[in-house]
């Protein structure tokens, strides 16, 4: 198995980069829109669930607390992670479930 170690490390690194891209941004860092649009809560939650189900939880910490903190006084989830409430809509899709 010693001959496979460099390849396995490369695969793990590639998986980690792909997971980070999926979990937090629509656009790559090369796109000018990358920093303008923050991650939204429903896509982030869906991707986090898929990654957790595929054992990526070993590579990343849980984002559950960050998601749970992204709510208004009534407990409804905001659409955008990291935006101030004055510039953040309540997410109708997430809150309909």
Q: What is the pLDDT of residue 20?
A: 65
Query: Taking Cα atoms as reference points, which of 54, 48, 50, 59 lies closest to residue 24?
Result: 48
What is the per-residue pLDDT across 22-71, written as a single tens digit (0 to 9) for each? 655 566 778 887 777 777 888 788 877 777 776 665 555 677 888 888 89
User: Could you list the residue range(s) of the whole structural domain that residue 84 is in?
Assistant: 2-96
Q: Which of the 8 DSSP states describes residue 80? A: B
Tokens of 11: 């695969």
What is the per-residue pLDDT across 67-96, written as a single tens digit (0 to 9) for each? 888 899 999 988 888 777 677 888 777 788
What pTM value is reported for the model? Answer: 0.60
| DSSP structure string for 30-65 | TSTTTTTSPPBHHHHHHHHHHHHHTTGGGTS---HH
Query: Taking Cα atoms as reference points, which of 94, 88, 82, 90 lies closest to residue 45?
Result: 94
Q: What is the pLDDT of residue 75?
A: 92
How many structural domains compose the chain?
Answer: 1
């Amino acid at each position: 198995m010693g001959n496979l170690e460099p390849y396995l490390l490369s695969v793990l690194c590639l998986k980690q980069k792909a997971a980070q891209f999926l979990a937090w941004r629509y656009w790559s860092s090369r796109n000018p829109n990358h920093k303008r649009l923050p991650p939204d809560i429903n896509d982030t939650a869906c991707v986090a669930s898929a990654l957790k189900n595929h054992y990526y939880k070993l590579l990343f910490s849980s984002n559950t607390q960050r998601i749970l903190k992204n709510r208004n006084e009534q407990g409804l989830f905001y659409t955008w992670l990291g935006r101030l409430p004055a510039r953040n809509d309540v997410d109708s899709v997430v809150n309909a479930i």
